Amino acid sequence: MPFPRPEPGAGAGAAPAGPPPGCPAHAAGAGPGGGADGLRRLFGPEADTDPMRLYEKLRSEHGPVAPVLLPGDVRVWLVLGHRENLEVARTPSLFSRDSRYWHAMREGRIPPDHPLAPLTTWQPLCVFADGMEHQRLRQALTDSLSRFESRGIRRYVIRFTHQLIDGFENAGQADLVEQFADQLPLRVITQLFGMEEEYGPQLVKAAKDMIQGTETAVESNDFITDTLQRLVERKRVEPAHDVASKLIEHPAGLSDDEVREHLRVTLVSANEPTVNLIANTLRMLLTDRRFRATLAGGHMTLPDALEQVLWDEPPMTTNIGRWATGDTQLAGRKIKAGDMLVLGLAAGNVDPAVRPDLSVPLHGNRSHLAFSAGPHECPGRDLGRAIADTGLDTLLSRLPDLRLAVPHEELRWDSALMSRRLVALPTSFTPPRQAGRARPGETSMSARQPLPPPQPVPGAAVGTQTRRPPPPGEAPAAGAVSPSEPARGTGWAAVKRRLRGRGR
């Protein structure tokens, strides 16, 4: 689709003029990533091939804050420094989440069919609010989610993990991106929302398309919105124990539009990052000898391993966006009122000012930018951690001899405006019957072996008793565990035993 191209300097709040002659930024215009005024694009061949390399070029050319172009050659600022990212994220009085400040939006340069429209068009939800209104809306969302973090999210994760593994286990091989990581988070989320399971695959496809900012992003966004609108209408009439009903019932008194939009932002913010977190952790486990040996040697727990991945390969590379409420400065750059800023999460995580040596592990350090920061820190972060932690543990308890089926040099990524996605992760393993392993629910030697004590998922209650799932429509009891649920630690204990013989 044709995109509107702004004239340099157009509008009272337009970004500053291009760099002076001789500036390294001019040279960028000659390459595949160069655009108007020699600014580099955050989309297209250069960004898609190696976004991290692009970020380092921008850092060397401009410092911690760089002028760049988004689709339609819309001029924005990319924040590359760790400290500068925190400053923007934690100062909503200067850098608001309200996109109505954006001069490009006010001047009609972001029409409804623009790829950025689903991510930047103002809507009545906490993502675009600040101050008291943001607190009201976000509190309703976090309160509603917390009702389930303490009432058996693990149970849903384990159920769907087993279902997915059942579909490929006997083949002895699987693409763990397409057949596992892509599928698990949204299946859990739709269950928590109170949706029928058949919605899962369609929403997986639509959410992926929307977050990548493709030409069909608007259509995908419309599909998600329509689906959630029908859900809200149904829950108004037939409330149950689910996130949609809890949002409707919350004392904050959300309208139907507000309920729908908060379900949408939760779906998107919890799904795509969790998909990437699962895939990236599995890839590092199967290809990174140091990472594998540290985990196998007991020097790093699974939660610590997830945090290391969130530092090294954050699920979202950038976060759109913040808008300057007035003229200000950031790292010596003159930011004008209405300018848009993009948080460079991946770039900030490797800022030499905070990580001079990237080879040094950061066990348990949660000061990364993977979930952004400040009052708008990702509301789905704990849900994502719980899904990834429990899903990986369950997967590895079923497939303890999991191994990469292709040379790691053959792995490929798709890069988009806000994320870098592993395309496929081909793996192989011994089918359970050949390995003499029992399927879940069957008696096996490993099931009779002593197991490590359970480790709780953040925010989730973990029970020790075995219960049958409740009848449809009945709320699960706190700490409910399905009959096939493995004890915590089983999968990683098996991996440790296997890797101690290989990781040296």
> Has residue 97 been placed in a domain?
no
Order across the sheet with 340-343: list the strands: 40-41, 65-70, 74-79, 340-343, 319-324, 95-96
Beta strands (DSSP E) in 3-57 are 40-41
Tell me whether strands 403-404 and 426-428 are parallel, antiparallel or unpaired. antiparallel
Number of domains in the chain: 1
Whether residue 77 contacts residue 335, with contact meaning beta carbons closer than 8 Å, is answered with: yes
> Has residue 344 been placed in a domain?
no
Distance CA 142, CA 134 (A): 12
Write out pLDDT tens, residues 272-313: 899 999 999 999 999 988 887 777 777 788 888 899 999 999
Tokens 């976060």: give the residue: 319
Half-sphere exposure of 50 (CA within 13 A, CB side): 5
> Has residue 88 been placed in a domain?
no
> Has residue 148 been placed in a domain?
yes
Whole-angstrom CA distances from 198 to 195, 201, 202, 203, 489 are: 8, 7, 8, 9, 31
> Has residue 152 been placed in a domain?
yes
Tokens 């002593």: give the residue: 450
302 vs 249, more confident: 249
Tell me whether strands 340-343 and 74-79 are parallel, antiparallel or unpaired. parallel
Beta strands (DSSP E) in 353-479 are 403-404, 413-415, 420-422, 426-428
Secondary element (H or E) of residue 271:
helix 256-287
Residue 158, pLDDT above cutoff 90: yes
Residue 29, pLDDT above cutoff 50: no
Secondary element (H or E) of residue 460:
none
> Has residue 34 been placed in a domain?
no
Tell me whether strands 420-422 and 413-415 are parallel, antiparallel or unpaired. antiparallel
Candidates 318, 319, 309, 316; CA nearest to 278 is 309
Q: How confident is the model at residue 249 (pLDDT cuts 50, 70, 90)?
A: very high
Rounded to an integer, the average pLDDT of 401-421 is 91
> Has residue 28 been placed in a domain?
no
Q: How confident is the model at residue 493 (pLDDT cuts 50, 70, 90)?
A: low
Q: How confident is the model at residue 440 (pLDDT cuts 50, 70, 90)?
A: low
pTM, to two decimals = 0.78
Question: Structural domain of residue 161, as residue ranges?
Answer: 126-318+360-499
Write out pLDDT tens, residues 68-84: 999 989 999 999 999 99
What are the tokens at 217? 């992003």
Residue 241, pLDDT above cutoff 60: yes
Any idea which of 129-143, 144-158, 273-287 has the lowest mean pLDDT? 144-158
**CATH number assigned to the domain comprising residue 473:** 1.10.630.10
The total of other beta-carbon atoms located within 10 Å of residue 414's CB is 12
> Has residue 150 been placed in a domain?
yes
List Cβ neighbours of 53 (8 Å cut-off, separation of 6 or more). none
